[in-house]
Amino acid sequence: MRIAGWRSFIKSFKTKSGAVCWVQQTEHQLKNTSLPLVDVGDATLRELLQTYAKEVSSHLKGSEIETYKLNLYSKHPIAENKLVNLTQRHFEHLRDERLKQVKSGTVHADMMMFRRVFKTAIHKWGYGLPKNPVEHLQLPSPHKSRKRRLMPSEKERLLTTASSQRNIYIASIIEFAIETGMRRSEILKLRWCDVDLENGFASL
C-alpha cells in the first residue's frame, strides 16, 4: 500500500477481507495525521539513537548515563534494523533478553528511553513512521522502593571502615548523606555559597 508522503506499507493476510480492512484503517489513520517532515528511507535504529544522543540527551541534566545507554544499544544487533521494519516484537525480544542480564528496574528505564526516542522522532522531528513500536510494550516492574534504614550498629561499622580509607572525606560524606537523605551527586555539587553553617542549612 502506498500513500503520498509516506513510505510503502506491506502486510500479509489469509483473507482478502482482512487485507481490505487493514488498508482502510491504515489509510484513515495516516490521512488524519500530518505528513512526515522526514523521509526515513533506509535509516536505521542506530542512526536514530545517535541523533537523539546528540540533539536531546547531550542537553539534559545527567546526560552521561543516558548517552552511555544510547551508545550501548547502538552496538546491539537490534540497532542494525531499518526504522521502517521495527515492530513491537523486536523490543519484546530485546526486553526479554535484557531481563536475563540486568534487573527489571533497569530494563523498565531502558524501554522508557526507547519510547521517548521514538516519540521525539515521530512527533517532534516528523519521522514518517506510522506508530511508536514501544508505545504499548508491556514493561517490567520498576525498582522496589527502599525503606530500611541503617541499624545503629551497622552505621558504626560503616563509619569505622570509611574512616580507614585513603580519602579522608568519605566518612563525613556518608554521615552527611545519612542525616540529609541527599544523593551523592547533590552532595558533591555543593559549594560554600550553598551552605549556611550558622543556621544549619544547605540549599540544593
pLDDT per residue over 19-63, tens digit each? 999 888 888 877 676 655 567 778 899 999 999 999 998 888 778
Mean pLDDT of 161-173: 92
Strand partners, 44: 82
- Cα(6)–Cα(21) distance, rounded to whole angstroms? 19
5 pLDDT more than 60: no
Q: For the segment 104-118, what is each residue's pLDDT rounded down to a tens digit? A: 999 999 999 999 999
Calculate ∠ Cα 13-133-126, nearest 5°.
Answer: 110
Q: What is the DSSP letter of 16?
A: H
- Provide the mean pLDDT of the chain: 87
pLDDT above 90 as % of the chain: 55
Cell for 20?
A: 481490505
β-partners of residue 114 are none
pLDDT tens per residue across span 119-136: 999 888 888 887 899 999
Residue 76: what pLDDT?
95
Which residues is 113 bridged to in the sheet?
A: none
Nearest to 35 by CA among 128, 106, 119, 113: 128
With cut-offs at 50, 70 and 90, classify the pLDDT of residue 2: confident
